[in-house]
A = this chain, B = another copy of it.
Amino acid sequence: MSQSRAGIDLETSLGYLLKETSSALRTAMETVLRPLGMTITHYSCLELLAQRPGLSSSELARGTFVTRQSMNVLLQALERDGLVTRPEQPAAGRVLPTELTAAGRAQRAAASAAVREVELRMTSGLDAAEQAQLGQLLSRCGAALREPGPESPQP
């Protein structure tokens, strides 16, 4: 039999292709964000706050696909650099709603324009229908992955 009968064929694996494509996107984004002094998570955090002001640290972590511990470290740096503000006392529960400062909005605007160029280049070869289809297929793959896997069958 072939050498990878029960395994993964890298030539045709959608998982490998997905990783390859997202790696290319990550590299392209790092290339344009580095001159602005920002990492991808740094930018993602500002972008999320621009579109949904008042998000908590944990919500930002989920939206940027890192742990809340990592987001906490990042937010401390962003606060120190005057890009975001958080109240000293929680308004309700333990949640500290975060807001962009003027400097944060300015930095986000510059980065957002640069990232938009990257995304446009990525999708430049796809027409509107193909872009919609790609979004559809990716969404369905993501939803399938988030479903509970083959766990312990018995309750």
Contact = CB atoms under 8 A, between A and B. Distances in A.
Nearest to A9: B51
A112 interface: yes
A77 interface: no
Contacts of A131: 14
Interface residues of A, number: 64
Given A3-B51, A7-B50, A51-B10, A122 B144 contact: yes
Copies of this chain in its oligomeric complex? 2
A141 interface: yes
A4 interface: yes
Interface string A1-42: 001101111101111011111111101110110000000000
B116 A141 contact: no
Contact of A8 (B12, B14, B119): B119
Nearest to A117: B150
16 contacts: A6-B112, A7-B115, A10-B51, A10-B63, A17-B138, A21-B138, A21-B142, A24-B142, A25-B145, A31-B149, A118-B149, A123-B141, A123-B144, A124-B144, A133-B133, A137-B137
